Structure 1
């Protein structure tokens, strides 16, 4: 769909809203009321079943979050809100600042700074299915790849009526991706009049980060329909890493400069001199008039490393503007037409330290930079001879590392446009004394992104500027890497620098038709069914800058990606009452479902599930489900071109090696005894695989709901509801690359270059890794199990008001990730690794009070402690756990909020709150990529205070 056509489509949708009074969506449409049969009012559809029926609401462990509960969090991003679920795992959010500078993950998705995703059950965002009004939402694009996950920041919070969350596999009902769970976001259909809202908040202990939101909406009802229109503007300002001592004071807190970069403003030069002595030197300072070797140099040491931390961001700035229009019109008493459209534009930015220039075989890029040296004729060369990249046949240069701080930090700026349009018909009819409901739908979603990168360099120009002076002609300016900070002139920067332009897009077109109702009636009740068909087309592309495609970028290299595929699906679900009105069996129902999916990429797959609901009596309901699931390989995973990801790895062969056996294995692998890893980031080649097959999953859940009569209308409770569920999920044939650190460790442990672990790992003559193949394969397996508990206690109304307390907790019993047969990755309960710690316990307690025009909420969020490997912090005081580990203590956050309905003629409500009331700092994380803490699990340091005014008229 072209840009112009999208604009016209959205304009038509908005025009239709003003022209016709209508409602919102298809899947949850309330049928016309038949006054002769009020049972139709109970015929609702819930997330865990396609069949309408009020009793099905207790068949699966579904959580419902209302618009009021969303507001009580004091957050403006849907992703940030849902990541506070106890069933949620580590996922991308705007506290990450890693897009661009770390490269490309193996799944081809890129890294979307400014976006927020959801990972239910810690299984990854691509294994969580996101629906809006029952229809699939478009996946994000980040201008650095083609993602398989939804950016929740493309869905404005202001348009949400409620959210239904099913943390359970449901592929038999909804198809691919529904392994970790399903989220259905129900949009608002109508509103009585107009409303405006303004919100502003900020951090008291940090400089920056102010967030403001303004919304305006209009809705109404007419004789045969309703409509709703909403505008939202969200602005979030940046916070520099330098604003917090933990993130800005050192590369890894508590370890001095040990993990900082060897690319420094004074340079690092490793070469073999004419006396055949290996030199590892750096400048004593800045020498604007030219340095003299060896007088102006000294041996490089840890103290010379560069602290890149202050240049990063703690919070990425972004601005989101959206317009949403929804309308629904009753064509006849039994047929309704709906139409909705949404446009969201996001501008976001992330920042990294000035881009380092690494040259020579020690750079390990596997590209042009590994072959670049310095000619003797370069006017700034202080050595008096050429530095020629070392190979097996000769050469003397091992590594040059220079941080051109003169060029300023890297700035990654993204513009992301999301379009969504949906229309269809819903209806109902009666036949043979049974009620039937149907709907037909079409939706189109598009997410496109462009990115500009400032502060990056052209390695081909660097090569020319360092090479023979006779070849540096035209606009070429000889480059000075040997003068220290401040000696790379603006003219030099202008020649080696360029502004990078990248783009990507994801599109989905969906057609579906559904029918459900009753087949016949048994003495125990109606046998109900649901059936439907769905056809989808996915397409996407990623187009990097021409300089990047040519392999001439000093940054992370990549190639274009594009692809498309189709899927046609058919499903059938049936629910039958087996027993009713028996002793200890008030109702016993069985639910069976199966879905056949045919993909143009790999063929067909059938997935089924079975569920049992046993209502023992009015107080106790037991339930259980068993299901098959799958996840189809996404565009980036199938068609992703070879690209580079700069992973932070610890090479076991880097001197000094304390273990004699490891030293012997490294020698057997051809690593020189003097080898020292020059850079903690090792370039890993990633890419897709067209031969990938779908992932397969098995899920099992069982539990129950207990609402005791002895807690109804007593002196201490109006009602008490206790819900408990156990889950077990197994994913086989998982699409993933080998964990790079695990593979490297196992390779060294084998001491055999021919072992399966060493395949794809290449070292050059210096011992440095200059090739690491990490493309995707169907090699993984994930096993996880745990339990959820929810207790909702509604107290009777007292003279001081009404109290309600809701407690929810998730316990993760097991989580293991097998990256290849017999090899397990580091992720497990209670362990922090790669910015994705898995707390064994998560819990949230909400205490709510209301009285008259006042209400208040006190929310406590708890995460149990985590343990991580000390890695590069070994030997420092912070590494004080057993077995070379570091412990991240348990954390409890306290959020408070108060609301006051102002006693005026106007309908004005003032809300104010403080998140992280006691200013709890996140624990130090040694293995995390940036800023010294796990941004996927913990809040930013300090209090976040906000105030909001809502006016309806």
Structure 2
């Protein structure tokens, strides 16, 4: 919470009548009235005009384009994501993780999922006045999560009149249509007003098969087929006699063993044909602000938000591998061509996996703010209550029930009417429909997966549900204690109580592990925190030679959590103006992130991990044949097996079996130390020009991480720590068929870089007015704690790797003509990245070493995307805007190592996926 609700302070004036008028001023980064924190700390402001000129559909989309933003944790590009957070859109500043950037609405925390993620998409863009991004640690003022930055969304208030807007756009490929309807109404009088903003947004999905980087699988258009999966829609079975996988030839008889031929690459599956590269989205939201002066010195303020968000995902049919579930095709099945139980593989192509995530948000904030004087010195006070509740329902389809696949693959026969029946003659299994997994997709016949009865039997509908609640009570007081030679000593103090509860309940099938979906159990827990803070703003010097201003700011916050105990975090900053046009600033701050409900009380979850088995031959640091590997029953000649139990040819290699991970109720808070230093210069020889340069450094410790698969394997097999082998299960062939690993406070991370900003507002010319805004972020260091092949803790540098761009830069040029025409050209630049090398693919640096190990890389070039918008302000108070994003239809290079592992595509979510064109009309009344 800020000093009052929302984050406001009051400037005062004494009119002739002698009454006090209150002027509402928003403040981000300080709780003391009148502090010019935008110069004292690095703050970036996105104005309403900036929003209008962007054409973006959500706040997250808008903020993702700022230079200091990192790769989003989850976005519309992430069709592969699962769990409670799917469908939300989150902002990650400094690449420190979305749950380490605190999001506020008018100074009040936004509600979070059980994982601590705050969904920015629920805020209607039409309701926003501006967005402040404090690019600095601020836990001393705002508490947990304010490690990397604070994003404060300031909404419109005391709006008088009405405006309505409609926008439609789509990609030049003819897909991804997006429609936005919005309206804002307001009425005011001399004491206050009410403002209501409503918005409806509908976004169509985009499929991977319609984009150059994903249409041909993970390998891209130059290597079609090489990234396809052997677990395909054609089906195949393992012939033990020949040691080969066989598939039905085109036009073959599925009952004739002789019609099965070796399963070669031509039968593999391009799963991307069924994948979404951009999910579908529908959002309906209403935001209301009520602001009313009860007296000349007391104001009531309330924010009310309702949001209903629906997200649709689709990924390819499940790659079913019978050995993983112990459901071989019975030798007594009517569809078995051998008469013996056989191991088979079949992608469930006819039934893609779909998920509909529906989130409903109810948010109410109410508070009183006031003003009084002590010895003619102004003081502000505020009390408030906030309640934010999220309800989520997820409906899934396309994962097979293991309770159904067992009998469907068991004994069966064809009755006298030619109908396939489960069981045996005279002992039919009621309600069961047999399945022929060897019949390729698109081929009709008994037991075909294209048969509606087979689908209805194998594929139930799954429903997950969850609810989170956040209640915040706060009281704040700020003012001037006494006058110093350079000005008033500013003072703020406050208390806050926050109660967090959360629950997410997966479908009973997922909880029991009786489906092909990832197993998961219920997450449920709660905690509360009581906090108190103190802030001082000390003006040391003013109006002196080489010290037009020297101000120090100090803040500290004490937090007492019901789960892990207490923590105290402090912050200090300074602002020095040697001359009026130059400001030098710096901060030092402690920060923390309390473990989330999911971290502490989450259920178990499953995933198919990519890892390197040190007991495998052919890998760097292999210990194949040593005592630990031999004791685990692994052959000295074992080669790690990947998807489809096919020997791996490159590492890390993805497991064919689900690994299980879980929470840890004994976790403590993450801790951080952040430092910034910078200058702001407005040179007198160039009126309208402002330059800024800021250095930052963050060090995180006790970072909550999963105890990685590779770390466990190295401890167990390389270092010989037998206690670390307990969670590892191996099959008879040597491959790791199961593993359990949990969360721990073992992570460390350090990042450092520079931000440069230049804004120039030229004097008006005969051709109109020009404004240039250039923002650049340079990442000089991004080191995280890891382990080398010897199991030693080392810091592994990541700057320049995918998602960790060395340089991100934006340049906005705006041209205004006669208050009627406005032309905006935006450029986004991403520096080149270091992709991993893959066999038979380009590799620019094959002999590279890192930490004494071979670490080849392929250097990919930089990318620049251009956006253009032209708008016309009509005489009837309407505005027509036409825009094109990615004007030049830029296509970035394919990342052969897999690119963004969260999306599953060799392309990064920051990169545009095509040329997007839109038109918007706004009418004011």
Q: Is the TM value for this pair above 0.5?
A: yes
Where does 1:787-866 land on structure 2 (aligned, <5 Å)? 787-819=754-786, 822-823=792-793, 828-832=798-802, 837-852=803-818, 853-866=820-833
Whether 1:312 and 2:275 are equivalent positions in the alignment is yes
CA distance in 1, matches of 2:71, 2:186: 37
- CA shift, 1:48, in A, is 1.9
Q: Which residue of 1 aligns with 2:415?
A: none
CA distance in 1, matches of 2:868, 2:725: 53
CA-to-aligned-CA distance 1:555-592 (integer Å, 9 cap, x gap): 11111111111011100000112222332111211111
Where does 1:338-349 land on structure 2 (aligned, <5 Å)? 338-349=301-312
CA distance in 2, matches of 1:877, 1:831: 17
Q: Assess, with a 3 A threshold, how the Cα gap between structure 1 residues 659 and 196 changes in structure 2: closer, same or farther.
A: closer
- CA shift, 1:720, in A, is 1.4
Q: Per the alignment, in what secondary structure is the counterpart of residue 461 of structure 1?
A: helix
CA distance in 1, matches of 2:888, 2:494: 52
Whether 1:734 and 2:703 are equivalent positions in the alignment is yes
Q: Per the alignment, in what secondary structure is the counterpart of residue 158 of structure 1?
A: helix
- CA shift, 1:79, in A, is 0.6
Q: Assess, with a 3 A threshold, how the Cα gap between structure 1 residues 608 and 200 changes in structure 2: closer, same or farther.
A: same
CA distance in 2, matches of 1:271, 1:563: 50
CA distance in 2, matches of 1:43, 1:458: 59
Q: Retained in 2: the 8 A contact 1:922–1:938?
A: yes
Q: Retained in 2: the 8 A contact 1:412–1:451?
A: yes
CA distance in 2, matches of 1:858, 1:43: 33
| Worse-superposed segment, 582-591 or 255-264 | 255-264
Whether 1:63 and 2:78 are equivalent positions in the alignment is no
Corresponding residue to 1:118 among 73, 81, 91:
91
Count of aligned residue pairs for this structure pair:
873
CA distance in 2, matches of 1:826, 1:763: 30
CA-to-aligned-CA distance 1:715-774 (integer Å, 9 cap, x gap): xxx32111111111011000011444x5378469x6466478766443212122212323
Whether 1:442 and 2:357 are equivalent positions in the alignment is no
Q: Which residue of 2 aligns with 1:234?
A: 201
Q: Assess, with a 3 A threshold, how the Cα gap between structure 1 residues 551 and 472 changes in structure 2: closer, same or farther.
A: farther
Whether 1:473 and 2:399 are equivalent positions in the alignment is no
Where does 1:418-437 land on structure 2 (aligned, <5 Å)? 418-437=361-380
Where does 1:884-899 land on structure 2 (aligned, <5 Å)? 884-899=856-871
Q: Per the alignment, in what secondary structure is the counterpart of residue 405 of structure 1?
A: coil
Corresponding residue to 1:164 among 129, 132, 139:
132
Q: Per the alignment, in what secondary structure is the counterpart of residue 616 of structure 1?
A: strand
Q: Assess, with a 3 A threshold, how the Cα gap between structure 1 residues 827 and 635 changes in structure 2: closer, same or farther.
A: farther
Whether 1:724 and 2:693 are equivalent positions in the alignment is yes
Q: Retained in 2: the 8 A contact 1:226–1:329?
A: yes
Q: Retained in 2: the 8 A contact 1:263–1:402?
A: yes
Gaps of 5+ in 2: 412-422, 645-652, 849-855
Q: Assess, with a 3 A threshold, how the Cα gap between structure 1 residues 415 and 56 changes in structure 2: closer, same or farther.
A: closer
Whether 1:949 and 2:903 are equivalent positions in the alignment is no
Q: Retained in 2: the 8 A contact 1:92–1:115?
A: no
CA distance in 1, matches of 2:440, 2:375: 88
Q: Which residue of 1 aligns with 2:398?
A: 455
CA distance in 2, matches of 1:90, 1:629: 22
Q: Assess, with a 3 A threshold, how the Cα gap between structure 1 residues 524 and 251 changes in structure 2: closer, same or farther.
A: closer
Q: Per the alignment, in what secondary structure is the counterpart of residue 556 of structure 1?
A: coil
Q: Assess, with a 3 A threshold, how the Cα gap between structure 1 residues 603 and 891 changes in structure 2: closer, same or farther.
A: same
Q: Assess, with a 3 A threshold, how the Cα gap between structure 1 residues 824 and 91 changes in structure 2: closer, same or farther.
A: farther
Corresponding residue to 1:384 among 322, 325, 339:
339
Q: Which residue of 2 aligns with 1:770?
A: 737
CA distance in 2, matches of 1:752, 1:481: 44
Where does 1:76-115 land on structure 2 (aligned, <5 Å)? 76-99=57-80, 103=82, 110-112=84-86, 114-115=87-88
Q: Retained in 1: the 8 A contact 2:100–2:593?
A: yes
Corresponding residue to 2:155 among 184, 187, 190:
187
Where does 1:511-522 land on structure 2 (aligned, <5 Å)? 511-522=473-484
Q: Retained in 1: the 8 A contact 2:20–2:296?
A: no
Q: Which residue of 2 aligns with 1:283?
A: 247
Q: Per the alignment, in what secondary structure is the counterpart of residue 549 of structure 1?
A: helix
- CA shift, 1:436, in A, is 0.4
Q: Which residue of 2 aligns with 1:325?
A: 288
- CA shift, 1:382, in A, is 2.2
Q: Assess, with a 3 A threshold, how the Cα gap between structure 1 residues 97 and 785 changes in structure 2: closer, same or farther.
A: closer
Greater RCO, CA 8 A, separation 6+:
1
Q: Which residue of 2 aligns with 1:132?
A: 105
- CA shift, 1:777, in A, is 0.6
Q: Retained in 2: the 8 A contact 1:439–1:513?
A: yes
- CA shift, 1:74, in A, is 1.5
Corresponding residue to 1:34 among 14, 29, 32:
14
Q: Which residue of 1 aligns with 2:320?
A: 357
CA-to-aligned-CA distance 1:255-306 (integer Å, 9 cap, x gap): 4434332321232434645xxx6x231213367853333x233344444321
CA distance in 1, matches of 2:170, 2:397: 28
| Worse-superposed segment, 151-160 or 29-38 | 29-38
- CA shift, 1:478, in A, is 2.6
| Worse-superposed segment, 458-467 or 252-261 | 252-261
CA-to-aligned-CA distance 1:320-372 (integer Å, 9 cap, x gap): 11111111111110001112211111111010111222221xx3xxxxx1x33
CA distance in 2, matches of 1:660, 1:512: 56
Q: Retained in 2: the 8 A contact 1:739–1:819?
A: no
Whether 1:613 and 2:545 are equivalent positions in the alignment is no
CA distance in 2, matches of 1:547, 1:693: 32
TM-score, length of structure 2 as denominator length: 0.90
Corresponding residue to 2:122 among 125, 143, 154:
154
CA-to-aligned-CA distance 1:408-442 (integer Å, 9 cap, x gap): 21111111111111111011111112110111111
CA distance in 2, matches of 1:39, 1:758: 72
Q: Retained in 2: the 8 A contact 1:753–1:759?
A: no
| Worse-superposed segment, 340-349 or 753-762 | 753-762
Q: Per the alignment, in what secondary structure is the counterpart of residue 251 of structure 1?
A: coil
CA distance in 1, matches of 2:56, 2:723: 48
- CA shift, 1:817, in A, is 1.4
Corresponding residue to 2:439 among 463, 466, 483:
483
CA distance in 2, matches of 1:472, 1:356: 29
How well do the aligned residues superpose, as a CA RMSD in angstroms? 2.6
CA distance in 2, matches of 1:797, 1:181: 36
Gaps of 5+ in 1: 1-23, 105-109, 141-145, 364-368, 388-398, 712-717
CA distance in 2, matches of 1:42, 1:791: 30
Q: Retained in 1: the 8 A contact 2:100–2:146?
A: yes
Q: Which residue of 2 aligns with 1:14?
A: none
CA-to-aligned-CA distance 1:360-390 (integer Å, 9 cap, x gap): 1xx3xxxxx1x33333222222222234xxx
Where does 1:207-226 land on structure 2 (aligned, <5 Å)? 207-226=174-193
CA distance in 2, matches of 1:848, 1:425: 40
Q: Retained in 2: the 8 A contact 1:26–1:426?
A: no
CA distance in 2, matches of 1:39, 1:252: 69
Corresponding residue to 1:634 among 592, 596, 599:
596
Q: Which residue of 2 aligns with 1:5?
A: none
TM-score, length of structure 1 as denominator length: 0.87
Q: Assess, with a 3 A threshold, how the Cα gap between structure 1 residues 95 and 935 changes in structure 2: closer, same or farther.
A: farther
Q: Assess, with a 3 A threshold, how the Cα gap between structure 1 residues 287 and 385 changes in structure 2: closer, same or farther.
A: farther
Where does 1:366-377 land on structure 2 (aligned, <5 Å)? 369=325, 371-377=326-332
CA distance in 2, matches of 1:684, 1:304: 28
CA-to-aligned-CA distance 1:470-490 (integer Å, 9 cap, x gap): 586111223222333333333
Q: Assess, with a 3 A threshold, how the Cα gap between structure 1 residues 778 and 730 changes in structure 2: closer, same or farther.
A: same
Q: Per the alignment, in what secondary structure is the counterpart of residue 247 of structure 1?
A: coil
CA distance in 2, matches of 1:844, 1:757: 47
- CA shift, 1:889, in A, is 1.5
CA distance in 1, matches of 2:198, 2:464: 29
Q: Assess, with a 3 A threshold, how the Cα gap between structure 1 residues 193 and 881 changes in structure 2: closer, same or farther.
A: farther
Q: Retained in 2: the 8 A contact 1:418–1:446?
A: yes
CA distance in 1, matches of 2:706, 2:670: 14
Q: Retained in 1: the 8 A contact 2:594–2:669?
A: yes
